[in-house]
Chains A and B, each alone.
Chain A
Amino acid sequence: MNRLRSCTRYNHGNPHMLGRTRSGLRLGWLTLPSSLSLPLSLLVMVFLPSSLLGSNLADSARQLAHQIAAASGPGTFALDVSNRSSLDDKSVREVRSALEAQLQADGVHNAKAEQATGSVNVVLSESLREYVWTAAIVIGSDETKVALLSLPRALAGTPLAVASPIVIKTTLLFAQEKTILDAAVVDMPGGARLIVLGDEAVAVYRQGAANSMGRWELETSLSVTRARPFPRDLRGRLFLRRDHLFDVFLPGTFCRSGGAAALSMSLSITCSASDDPWPLTVEEGGVRGFYASSRNFFTGVLSPGIGKITTIPSFYSATTLPRSGYTLWAVAAVDGSLHMVDGFTDQVVRGTRWGSDLASVRSNCGVGTQVLATESGEDERDGLRAYEVADRDPAAVSAAVEFDGQITALWPDGSGNFAMAIVRRRDTGWYEAHRISISCGN
């Protein structure tokens, strides 16, 4: 195998190619090792400032102008620029302006067709991968030359805004192409850390320096080992702990971080096959539910139970609503029904069908605790809405906040003041971790 030592292609972790030729087309499958590629792709793809895209467009337009001038030679040409891509009008104007200016500088003058010796037809097009600009240069009556240029496409932003009496606030914390199952922010010496649970690893990010625009920079990534395949619609939970940094619950698998809460580069996790019940509350010693290791739901068996109730229908999620003297549980069952469980009775709520993910959030509004429930669960757009539950009857208290994709997970965070919503974007397929809170509108 000596001949493979000088390898040029390598795939691991993040196999997206990064190598490009001058013209922007990929050079086969050149990749970077995962330790390098993850943070780099994150910086480029998530935090790409719009101004960067703008300057890229103008630079590329000037580059295309050079190619056109080289093909046409100096002269008078009728220039036509048409846009068949997703570039907006402003960008197209910018491209056209830069193109005209550079052509002029290169001796290619723009004129009306009847006064020109030839024509230059520029089409701003795109493939799935990149913007592709073509220029057909017609000199005289027959001779046609073609110039090509390509440049990478950028990602669109995700504006989210809601206005209503109780307002759901969303803060995009993090996005990546790989699966996100849960995430948590923890304040620690040396700055806040973001812990991201994926299907293959737990990654710990540190808040970057001020000049890095607050980016999360990868500090360490800990592989999750599993004894058996994970099910489809994989779900997992991350719990911050006092005596160690975190616990991870995955179907049929339990992982515990090693060492004390103080993070160091030597942080490790130990994973083992486990069918132990998952905590349903952030407090240790609270209600736990057995999770079906080859499915996507809790079996309904609780240990310890909710008061005297230790078996409820199979469910996707359950959340607490504090009451005077007891805790009421809202349970989203697998059959689509909503149950209210108070320790003595399990009551099915009629006429209300929520999505399958619930999380309670404390706020200064209304009764002080609202339940966030997912809405449609459809693939294109998904939403969250806040409810208050008087007695056993839920009532919506906010407008829905919509996401450009499916909410794949919704979990309460350790403080009880936030929830973490994981969204898989429809357009890019990337996963986003949103921190959700509730504030009082006016």
Chain B
Amino acid sequence: MKRIVYRFLAAISFLAMIETTVIANAETRPHYGGTLRVMMQSSPEGLQIPAAATVSDYWDDARTLSQIGDTLVKLDALGHPQPLLATTWLSDPTARHWQFTLRRGVKFHDGSVASATAVAQILGAKHPAWNVHASPDTLLIDLLSETAMPSLLAELALPRNLILKQNDNGTPIGTGTFVVAEWQPGKRLKLVANEESWQGRPYVDVVEIEFGKSLREQAIGLELDKSDIIESAAQASGSQRRNVSASLSVELMALVFVGNSKTQDPRLRQALALAIDRKPIQSVLLKGAGEPAATILPNWMTGYAAAFAEPSNPQRARAVLAESRQPALNLSYDPRDPQAQLIAERIALNAREVGITVQVSLAGAEDIRLMRVALPSPDPVTSLGEAARQLGLSQPASQSGFSATRVNNLRVNTLEDLYQTERGLLDGYGVIPLFHLPVASATGARVRGWQPDLFGQWSEPGHSLADVWLGDSQVERLPGAAVR
């Protein structure tokens, strides 16, 4: 009897399993056609990446321009260089002389050939310290300084090195998967599919990007089906909605002591670092997103973050201060960052608890700045250099004595080298890392094929807007189908 019951249950469950499948909607391969609507926070007046862009402007500019242009190489998820416009590359043993073979047959959107000469002209204008020239079909980069640059490929993979020309109106002309069709500075950008894209025509016909939309406006836009892809505040991984996806931690939030700060006493800086209780800030104000940080680079890049861990310790902070008399400090923040003020006030509260007076203010001379900086490359040396530059560590007055240029040019061949370099940047507490944060995006119901890349740049092949297709788009009828 028991055996019959088991067989019956097994049969029922098998039939139920089959039934579920028949009812379930199956997807198909990607469809072509339709207009993809995207919203972004920034309001760029030009289609370029300013050197001093805020972190949110940086992501938006990089994401937008990466649809229009290509870099010579890209870095994959493991930080390894992969071909894009350049198919092969060589360097001499000093890493000062580089040679690139460019992909054949690639054309700019205006129909001109993306030749070595054209690419050399664009790159040369971006980098006066490089001698970039063509000979005749290969691209040569000679560093004018005596310092080697082993991270050159990672540098070339950054969005600021997209190969873009400009027309008379300043509109970028690239080799990418989308072509600029209409540009209203600060408001709207319309991109159309590049039918001749060397990476294959995008699935959607048009991408419309609306700029200057706050996160709240974007969320409403998605809810009302007025947008397909929006930026979103990252949340704890466990609480994310199904249509929200976050990158790896690609931003650093940190306190930076400005050059003319009253806090020249390293004991005060160390005491402040020890006073800040990061965990409650992360779980409450950041809604669980990201992770408390004691390093500039996140653990996924280096693996050694544990060696820097220094938990909050108010008792030790008081001991470090040793009842010395310390000046009141002004803490400033980016008023456009919706979370910054609350986080700054919480830090001030932590500081007061150990006897340090911190005033959160946007007026008057700042002593400490609460900053978010982008970590734009999976290559740790490049990201460390970029972070140092954004944090102002390249200034001669930097307490650490390290500079972004020095970081980029260091021959960081081993994990120990990298560790020592980062340790050097953090010694003296000129920078107090607080959190490593991801960037997130959300998609509407009709978006298919959307896989935001791990680094939040929407540019990796397989993770770009060109790979998105729309589930409700009309099935495309090719003219050729009727006549063949």
Query: Which A residues fall within an 8 A CB radius of B?
Result: 1, 3-4, 6-12, 15-17, 21, 23-25, 27-29, 84, 123, 125-132, 134, 136, 146, 148, 150, 164-165, 229-234, 290, 292, 294-297, 299-301, 303, 314, 316, 332, 334-336, 351-357, 374-379, 385, 395-396, 399-400, 429
Q: Which residues of B contact A12 (CB under 8 A)?
A: 87-88
Query: Which of B82, B202, B302 sits near A232, CB closer than 8 Å?
Result: B202
B183 within 8 A of A: no
Q: From known contacts A16-B80, A148-B416, A294-B201, infer whether A229 and B29 are also in contact, taking CB-CB under 8 Å.
A: no
CA A332 to CA B29, docked complex, whole Å: 10
B124 within 8 A of A: no
Offer 26 A-B interface pairs, CB within 8 angstroms, sorted by A.
A7-B90, A7-B91, A25-B416, A25-B418, A27-B413, A123-B306, A127-B301, A127-B303, A128-B301, A128-B454, A164-B14, A165-B14, A229-B197, A230-B200, A232-B199, A233-B30, A292-B478, A299-B480, A314-B476, A334-B28, A334-B476, A353-B26, A356-B27, A356-B29, A376-B27, A399-B14
Please, which residue of chain B has its CB at the minimum distance from the CB of A400? Answer: B21
- Contact B90–A132 (Cβ < 8 Å): no
Query: Which B residues fall within an 8 A CB radius of A?
Result: 14, 17-18, 21-22, 24-32, 77-83, 87-93, 95, 97, 99, 105, 135, 150, 153, 195-203, 248, 299-307, 378, 413-416, 418-419, 449, 451, 454, 462, 466-467, 475-478, 480-481, 484
- Contact B99–A295 (Cβ < 8 Å): no
Query: Which of B29, B82, B418 sits near A316, CB closer than 8 Å?
Result: B29
Q: Which residues of B contact A131 (CB under 8 A)?
A: 303
Q: Known A-B contacts: A296-B32, A314-B478, A353-B25. Give 15 more (CB < 8 A).
A: A3-B92, A7-B93, A8-B91, A9-B90, A9-B91, A11-B83, A28-B150, A125-B299, A128-B78, A132-B415, A296-B30, A314-B475, A334-B31, A379-B451, A396-B21
Q: Which residues of B contact A9 (CB under 8 A)?
A: 89-91, 95
Please, which residue of chain A has its CB at the minimum distance from the CB of B418? Answer: A25
CA A9 to CA B153, docked complex, whole Å: 11
Query: Which of B25, B30, B81, B416 sits near A23, CB closer than 8 Å?
Result: B416
Minimum CB–CB distance from B269 to chain A (whole Å) comes to: 18
Please, which residue of chain B has its CB at the minimum distance from the CB of A396? Answer: B18
Q: Which residues of A contact B301 (CB under 8 A)?
A: 127-128
- Contact B80–A150 (Cβ < 8 Å): no
- Contact A21–B413 (Cβ < 8 Å): yes
- Contact A127–B302 (Cβ < 8 Å): yes
CA A308 to CA B417, docked complex, whole Å: 72
Q: Which residues of B contact A148 (CB under 8 A)?
A: 304, 307, 415-416, 419
Q: Which residues of B contact A165 (CB under 8 A)?
A: 14
Q: Which residues of A contact B478 (CB under 8 A)?
A: 292, 295, 299, 314
Q: Which residues of B contact A4 (CB under 8 A)?
A: 90-92, 97, 99
Q: From known contacts A123-B306, A134-B306, infer whether A8 and B93 are also in contact, taking CB-CB under 8 Å.
A: yes
Q: Which residues of B contact A352 (CB under 8 A)?
A: 22
Q: From known contacts A8-B92, A10-B88, A12-B88, infer whether A132 and B302 are also in contact, taking CB-CB under 8 Å.
A: yes
Minimum CB–CB distance from A353 to chain B (whole Å) comes to: 5
Q: Which residues of B contact A396 (CB under 8 A)?
A: 18, 21-22
Q: Which residues of A contact B153 (CB under 8 A)?
A: 29
- Contact B419–A295 (Cβ < 8 Å): no
Interface contacts (Cβ under 8 Å), in number, total 202
- Contact A84–B83 (Cβ < 8 Å): no
- Contact B416–A128 (Cβ < 8 Å): no
Minimum CB–CB distance from B317 to chain A (whole Å) comes to: 16
CA A385 to CA B31, docked complex, whole Å: 23
Select the residue from B99, B105, B299, B451 with max chain A CB neighbours within 10 A: B299
CA A314 to CA B451, docked complex, whole Å: 27
CA A375 to CA B24, docked complex, whole Å: 9
- Contact B306–A292 (Cβ < 8 Å): no
- Contact B82–A15 (Cβ < 8 Å): yes
Please, which residue of chain A has its CB at the minimum distance from the CB of B297? Answer: A127
Minimum CB–CB distance from B316 to chain A (whole Å) comes to: 12
CA A12 to CA B89, docked complex, whole Å: 8
Q: Which residues of A contact B97 (CB under 8 A)?
A: 3-4
Query: Which of A27, A146, A357 sits near B419, CB closer than 8 Å?
Result: A146
- Contact B79–A296 (Cβ < 8 Å): no
- Contact B466–A232 (Cβ < 8 Å): yes
Please, which residue of chain A has its CB at the minimum distance from the CB of B479? Answer: A299
- Contact B24–A23 (Cβ < 8 Å): no
Select the residue from A3, A24, A164, A354 with max chain B CB neighbours within 10 A: A3
Q: From known contacts A229-B200, A377-B29, infer whether A300 and B77 are also in contact, taking CB-CB under 8 Å.
A: no
- Contact A233–B21 (Cβ < 8 Å): no
CA A27 to CA B467, docked complex, whole Å: 33
- Contact A125–B418 (Cβ < 8 Å): no
CA A1 to CA B89, docked complex, whole Å: 13
CA A148 to CA B92, docked complex, whole Å: 30
Q: From known contacts A131-B303, A396-B18, A399-B14, infer whether A150 and B81 are also in contact, taking CB-CB under 8 Å.
A: no
Minimum CB–CB distance from A372 to chain B (whole Å) comes to: 13
CA A184 to CA B301, docked complex, whole Å: 39
Q: Which residues of B contact A134 (CB under 8 A)?
A: 303-304, 306-307
Q: From known contacts A25-B413, A125-B299, A164-B14, infer whether A377 and B88 are also in contact, taking CB-CB under 8 Å.
A: no
Please, which residue of chain B has its CB at the minimum distance from the CB of A10? Answer: B90
Select the residue from A11, A165, A336 with max chain B CB neighbours within 10 A: A11
Q: Which residues of A contact B95 (CB under 8 A)?
A: 9, 28
Q: From known contacts A314-B478, A379-B451, infer whether A24 and B26 are also in contact, taking CB-CB under 8 Å.
A: no
Query: Which of A229, A295, A375 sits near B196, CB closer than 8 Å?
Result: A229
- Contact A11–B481 (Cβ < 8 Å): no
Q: Which residues of B contact A296 (CB under 8 A)?
A: 29-30, 32
- Contact A377–B302 (Cβ < 8 Å): no
CA A316 to CA B26, docked complex, whole Å: 14
Q: Which residues of A contact B454 (CB under 8 A)?
A: 128
Select the residue from A126, A294, A376 with max chain B CB neighbours within 10 A: A294
Minimum CB–CB distance from B270 to chain A (whole Å) comes to: 13
Q: From known contacts A301-B481, A351-B22, infer whether A129 and B79 are also in contact, taking CB-CB under 8 Å.
A: yes
